[in-house]
């Protein structure tokens, strides 16, 4: 997968913060947010241009993207916990 656009990355984090990372509830939240343009006014077409397709034909790519973003987020928290314990 290509490097993730920073805005796309932030969109995923925004949706995770709103609803958690459990699938398919997160997918529903991503669609809700895009449909109502709740994140920076971006809709489906805007997100597609940034590399996030919410169509079911590309769902595997979307799942991989979410996994990468949430793993990075978890890793960042783990590093902070380790750093503060030192």
Asked whether the predicted pLDDT for residue 15 surpasses 90, the reply is yes
- Give the span between the Cα atoms of 77 and 8, in whole angstroms: 20
Question: Which pLDDT score, from 0 to 100, does residue 4 have?
Answer: 87
- Is the per-residue pLDDT at 24 higher than 50? yes
Q: pTM, whole model, 2 decimals?
A: 0.81
Long-range pairs for 2-7 at CB < 8 Å and ≥24 separation? 2/51, 4/51, 4/65, 4/68, 4/69, 5/50, 5/51, 7/40, 7/42, 7/50
Confidence of residue 75 (pLDDT cuts 50, 70, 90): low
Alpha carbon distance 31, 18 (integer Å)? 13
User: Is the per-residue pLDDT at 69 higher than 80?
Assistant: yes
């Amino acid at each position: 997968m290509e490097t993730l656009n920073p805005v796309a990355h932030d969109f995923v984090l925004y949706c995770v913060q709103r609803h958690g990372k459990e699938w398919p509830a997160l997918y529903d939240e991503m669609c809700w947010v895009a449909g109502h343009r709740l994140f920076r006014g971006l809709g489906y077409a805007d997100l597609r241009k940034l590399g996030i397709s919410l169509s079911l034909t590309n769902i595997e790519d979307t799942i991989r993207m979410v996994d990468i973003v949430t793993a990075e987020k978890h890793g960042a928290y783990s590093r902070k916990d380790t750093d503060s314990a030192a």
